[in-house]
Amino acid sequence: MVAQTSRLYRELPASVRQFLLKAGIMLSGWLAVYHLLLKPMRFPDKQLTHLVIDSTVYLLNLLGLNSMSKGQWVYINNKFTVGVADQCNGLELMVLYVGFLLAINGSIKSKLKYILGGTLLIYALNVLRCAGLAYMNHINAPLIDFAHHYAFKLAIYAVIFLMWYLYSKKEKAL
């Protein structure tokens, strides 16, 4: 099995092998740093989670809904609507998005532009997702579980793939 995998790896184009090597090293490094150092301190999870909560409450209030937060919980009209855990703050999506961009070839200037724009877009989509879930829970929408587990995730992943596609197409054109 190992010999077969090694042979398949050697048959890949050099650019694909380079991408896989970079991605593997970055993934291993990120997982080690995150789980050994950052996660125990809840950094940057704590800050990002509270930013998502505050932004969700701000957006709901902007839409005319009487919203507030208590800890990691979001309320509309003093009724619990949604909790935002660290797993819901979008950090994993941002790291995945940035890691892909760093692993493929391209100019530093273009990568920085796409990293900044993409992470801000992922953050904004996540706030919209949390606000949407809070509103759906507030009105007792029957499809909240479907929206939470499938629809919103599909939409965000589709946007991430679209951003990767646009970046790779732009870089190929240069």
| pLDDT, tens only, 122-138 | 999 999 999 999 999 99
Mean pLDDT of 55-68: 98
Q: How far is the C-alpha of 113 from the C-alpha of 96, rounded, in Å? A: 16
Sheet with 73-76, side-by-side order of all strands: 67-70, 73-76, 79-83
**Position 6 pLDDT exceeds 90:** no
Tell me the pairing of strands 79-83 and 67-70.
unpaired
Q: How far is the C-alpha of 140 from the C-alpha of 173, rounded, in Å? A: 48
Tell me the pLDDT band of 1, cut-offs 50, 70 and 90: confident
Mean pLDDT of 17-32: 93
Tell me the pairing of strands 79-83 and 73-76.
antiparallel
Structure tokens at 101: 């961009």
Tell me the pLDDT band of 171, cut-offs 50, 70 and 90: confident
This prediction has a pTM of 0.91
Structure tokens at 95: 């790291």
Mean pLDDT of 62-86: 97
